[in-house]
């Protein structure tokens, strides 16, 4: 048991000692001092902290005295410029004496990953539909609520919509997020990216002056097929990544190909989910023969390559027996 | 946009590098010195060209043509700066890159591309601002690299921008504005629907957006320079005049 005392009442430090009502085995209780990283003023002093407490527990205690700073907003460090302490780290395992000093920084309003993904994907999905249904004021008024005569435009709408519905389903049922939250500014930036590009692509594909692909039905059907294959591939990888974390043990392992042929891409790359994602968008580009889609695909490819490279390096660092033939995102290339 | 702020981080690097780590090696330093000397000389050529043309014609008009080629050469040459900086101060490449790109954009995509604006006085306004800024800036780097920076140059580099930066920005904005009607009429660099790649681009609208972007960007860069000025010139009592 401990009490956190916000120190704006008096100059002296009030400490209340609570005697445990039951005889506990010989445990040295810790004291935790929380200091504002910027102003260096002492915000809180925690007494009788169980050494087995985690950082998460400490954040909860701090939250009791400062209800505006819920745990997800708290950044605690042992040194103002040091590494962020993780919620699952245990107090007695930290390099501190029995009195620990921690520096606090407010990370600002936080949003859960699920909320962020929802906002991004629903926005992208609905924005596209605004253009597909030719809502008034988007195109010239003679075209309001008309529909395109080209089948490919309908296919494109179905593909785009299903793509984001799949992502929403995955967010709810498949993905497991390691970091709980993301700062508010990030959601604004991310939504601008997704919604903005969705609008830009949709504007051209659903435009009354849209020109269908040069090689006609052959091009559309072929691209549609590869699009579906890549979506299935991407989903397979997401599911196999989820299954990696099922056993709940601390055993860390890297993903391996399974019986599902789509996962065989793991023989060649560390992040086949990104490979399939690029494949899907390339298919969409070919299917619609639309330069803005190609540009969007390129941006996505660049971003995903950076992520894939990072993940690949992390795997190499962590696992000594990591297959050397594997590349990050493009088989045999990089 | 005037690249006055561009060198700030590089200058900071030159000021800070000897204290923190060894800084660029001897060969890299040699290359940098040569580069900065050449650039200083280049912009001096432009300055002299402007003065001589003015004296010959007796008026401020149409001076662009007398320095068109060296301006294009040396302003575009600043792209080389990005390659050099990326090896030494990678963090400042983005800011510098942005500055250089905007200068190159104005030189080629506006002034060169829209012949009708080349006679405008606004062109002289930004060319003059760029010329004075660059002469000071490149000589500042040269002397810094040789560890013999006269206080006058340092002072000039962190003071002249106060007038030159707004002057350059005004010249640039007025030039873009002057180009607008010609771009709209000729459809320069514009693509319309329908076409095979289902893409369109309106250069006229793009230029207007560029002009609008000055509103948030210019104050940020300007006040950044002012803060740098306080930092660099504010401690002259503490440090010796020669870096």
Work out the widest C-alpha separation in chain A, in whole angstroms. 84
Phi and psi, residue B177, nearest 5°: -60, -40
pTM: 0.77
Instruction: Report CB contact under 8 Å: A210, B195.
Output: no
Q: What is the pLDDT of residue B85?
A: 77
Q: What is the pLDDT of residue A179?
A: 66
Residue B143 covered by a domain: yes
A63 in Cβ contact with A71 (< 8 Å)? yes
Q: Above pLDDT 70, what percent of chain B?
A: 84
Q: What is the pLDDT of residue B10?
A: 43
Cis peptide leading into B194, omega within 30 of 0? yes
B19-57: pLDDT as tens digits: 444 556 788 888 889 999 999 999 999 999 999 999 999
Q: Which residue has the higher pLDDT, A119 or B86?
A: A119
Residues 6+ apart with CB under 8 A from B235: none
Residues 6+ apart with CB under 8 A from A278: A297, A300, A301, A304, A329
Kindly state the helix (H) or strand (E) to which residue B1 belongs, with its residue range: none
B45 in Cβ contact with B69 (< 8 Å)? no
d(CA A289, CA A309): 29
d(CA B201, CA A203): 13
Judging by DSSP bridges, how do beta strands A42-49 and A30-36 pair with one another? Answer: antiparallel
Instruction: Give the pLDDT mean for B144-161.
Output: 93
What is the token pair recorded at A71?
A: 């745990």
Per-residue confidence band for B95, with pLDDT thresholds at 50, 70 and 90: confident
For the cut 70, the answer to whether the pLDDT of residue B2 exceeds it is: no
Residue B79 covered by a domain: yes
Arithmetic mean of pLDDT over chain B: 86
CB pairs under 8 A between A and B: 29
Work out the widest C-alpha separation in chain B, in whole angstroms. 67
Instruction: Name residues of chain A where pLDDT drops below 50.
Output: 1-2, 7-19, 21-23
Distances (CA, A) of A144 to A138, A152, A181, B187, B192: 8, 20, 41, 28, 21
Instruction: Report CB contact under 8 Å: B199, A207.
Output: no
CA atoms within 13 A on the CB side of B206: 13
- Contact residues, chain B, for A289 at CB < 8 Å: 196-198
B133-142: pLDDT as tens digits: 999 999 999 9
- Contact residues, chain A, for B196 at CB < 8 Å: 211, 214, 289
Q: What is the pLDDT of residue A49?
A: 86
What is the token pair recorded at B109?
A: 């995509």
Cis peptide leading into A46, omega within 30 of 0? no
- Rounded-to-5 percentages of helix, strand, coil across chain A: 50, 10, 40
How many angstroms from the chain centroid is the CA of residue B242? 26
Per-residue confidence band for B13, with pLDDT thresholds at 50, 70 and 90: very low
Instruction: Report CB contact under 8 Å: B198, A207.
Output: yes
Instruction: Report CB contact under 8 Å: B199, A292.
Output: yes
What is the token pair recorded at B14?
A: 């030159």
Integer-rounded Cα Rg, in Å, for chain A is: 26
A100 in Cβ contact with A46 (< 8 Å)? no
Calculate how close chain A gets to B98, using CA atoms only, in Å: 19
Instruction: Report CB contact under 8 Å: B198, A211.
Output: yes
Kindly state the helix (H) or strand (E) to which residue B111 belongs, with its residue range: none
Residues 6+ apart with CB under 8 A from B58: none
A102 in Cβ contact with A91 (< 8 Å)? no
Complex ipTM tops 0.90: no
Domain coverage including residue B97: 26-189+200-234
Q: Is the dihedral of CA A116, A118, A121, A124 positive or negative?
A: negative
Q: What is the pLDDT of residue A10?
A: 42
Instruction: Report CB contact under 8 Å: A291, B197.
Output: yes
SS3 assignment, position A182 = strand
Residue B242 covered by a domain: no
Distances (CA, A) of B66 to A257, B45, B57, B130: 68, 11, 11, 16
Q: What is the pLDDT of residue A5?
A: 53
Q: What is the pLDDT of residue A183?
A: 86
Residues 6+ apart with CB under 8 A from A326: A266, A267, A268, A269, A270, A312
Distances (CA, A) of A212 to A146, A163, A168, B236: 17, 21, 29, 68
Q: Is A25 on the interface with B (CB under 8 A)?
A: no
Q: Is the dihedral of CA A284, A286, A287, A291 positive or negative?
A: positive
d(CA A53, CA A102): 14
Question: Which residues of B are designated catalytic?
Answer: 165, 172
d(CA B140, CA B148): 10
Q: Which of A291, A297, A298 to mutate to test the interface with B (most CBs of B within 10 A)?
A: A291
Structural domain count, chain B: 1
Residue B6 covered by a domain: no
A56 in Cβ contact with A74 (< 8 Å)? no
Residue closest to B134 by CA, chosen among B156, B149, B152: B156
The residue of chain B nearest to residue A286, with distances taken between CA atoms, is B197
A314-323: pLDDT as tens digits: 999 999 999 9
B208-218: pLDDT as tens digits: 999 999 998 88
A153 in Cβ contact with A142 (< 8 Å)? no
3-state secondary structure A245-274: CCCCCCCCCCCCCCCCHHHHHHHCECCHHH
| Beta bridge pairs of residue A182 | A111
d(CA A11, CA B215): 49
Residue closest to B77 by CA, chosen among B3, B12, B187, B140: B3
Q: Which residue has the higher pLDDT, B89 or A312?
A: A312
The b-or-e profile of A86-112 (16+ CB within 10 A means b, else e) is ebeeebeeeeeeeebebbbeeeeebbe
| Burial (0-12, 13-18, 19+ Cβ within 10 Å), B126 | buried
Residues 6+ apart with CB under 8 A from A314: none
Residue B53 covered by a domain: yes
d(CA A16, CA B109): 72
A78-106: pLDDT as tens digits: 988 888 888 888 888 888 888 889 999 99
Q: Is A290 on the interface with B (CB under 8 A)?
A: yes
For the cut 50, the answer to whether the pLDDT of residue B16 exceeds it is: no
Instruction: Give the pLDDT mean for B199-211.
Output: 96
Give the number of other Cβ atoms within 10 Å of residue A191's Cβ: 17
| Beta bridge pairs of residue A183 | A110
């Amino acid at each position: 048991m401990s009490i956190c005392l916000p120190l704006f009442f008096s100059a002296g430090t009030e400490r209340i000692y609570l005697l445990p009502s039951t005889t506990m085995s010989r445990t040295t209780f810790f004291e935790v001092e929380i200091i504002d990283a910027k102003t260096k003023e002492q915000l809180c002093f925690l007494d009788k902290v169980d050494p087995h407490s985690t950082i998460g527990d400490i954040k909860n205690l701090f939250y009791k005295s400062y209800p505006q700073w819920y745990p997800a907003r708290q950044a605690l460090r042992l040194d103002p410029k040091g590494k962020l302490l993780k919620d699952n780290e245990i107090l007695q395992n930290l390099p501190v004496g029995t009195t620990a000093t921690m520096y606090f920084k407010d990370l600002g309003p936080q949003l859960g990953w699920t909320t962020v993904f929802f906002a991004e994907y629903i926005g992208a999905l609905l924005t596209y539909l605004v253009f597909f249904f030719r809502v008034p004021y988007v195109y010239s008024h003679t075209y309001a609520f008309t529909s395109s005569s080209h089948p490919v435009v309908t296919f494109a709408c179905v593909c785009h919509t299903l793509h984001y519905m799949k992502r929403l389903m995955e967010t709810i049922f498949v993905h497991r997020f390691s970091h709980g939250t993301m700062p508010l500014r990030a959601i604004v930036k991310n939504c601008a990216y997704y919604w903005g590009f969705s609008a830009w692509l949709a504007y051209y594909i659903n435009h009354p002056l849209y020109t269908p692909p040069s090689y006609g039905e052959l091009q559309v059907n072929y691209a549609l097929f590869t699009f579906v294959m890549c979506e299935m591939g991407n989903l397979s990888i997401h599911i196999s990544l989820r299954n990696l974390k099922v056993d709940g043990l601390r055993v860390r392992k890297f993903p391996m190909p399974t019986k599902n042929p789509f996962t065989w891409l793991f023989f060649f790359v560390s992040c086949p989910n990104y490979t399939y994602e690029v494949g899907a968008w390339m298919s969409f580009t070919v299917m619609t023969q639309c330069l803005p889609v190609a540009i969007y695909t390129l941006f996505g490819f660049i971003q995903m390559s950076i992520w894939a490279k990072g993940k690949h390096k992390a795997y190499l660092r962590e696992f000594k027996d990591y297959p050397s033939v594997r590349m990050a995102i493009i088989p045999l290339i990089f | 946009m005037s690249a006055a702020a561009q060198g700030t981080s590089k200058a900071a690097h030159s000021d800070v590098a000897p204290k923190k780590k060894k800084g660029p090696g001897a060969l890299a330093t040699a290359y940098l010195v040569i580069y900065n000397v050449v650039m200083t000389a280049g912009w001096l050529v432009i300055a002299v060209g402007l003065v001589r043309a003015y004296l010959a014609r007796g008026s401020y008009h149409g001076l662009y043509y007398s320095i068109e080629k060296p301006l294009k050469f040396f302003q575009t040459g600043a792209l080389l700066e990005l390659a050099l900086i990326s090896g030494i101060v990678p963090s400042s490449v983005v800011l510098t890159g942005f500055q250089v790109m905007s200068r190159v954009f104005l030189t080629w995509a506006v002034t060169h591309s829209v012949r009708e604006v080349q006679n405008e006085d606004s062109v002289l306004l930004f060319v003059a601002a760029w010329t004075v800024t660059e002469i000071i800036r490149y000589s500042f780097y040269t002397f810094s690299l040789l560890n013999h920076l006269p206080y006058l140059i340092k002072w000039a580099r962190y003071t002249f921008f106060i007038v030159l930066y707004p002057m350059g920005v005004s010249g640039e904005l007025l030039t873009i504005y002057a180009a607008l009607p010609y771009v709209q009429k000729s459809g320069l660099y514009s693509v319309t629907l329908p076409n095979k790649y289902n893409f369109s681009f309106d250069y006229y609208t793009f230029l207007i957006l560029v002009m609008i972007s000055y509103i948030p960007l210019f104050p940020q860069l300007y006040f950044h320079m002012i803060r740098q000025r306080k930092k660099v010139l504010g401690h002259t009592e503490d440090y010796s005049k020669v870096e």
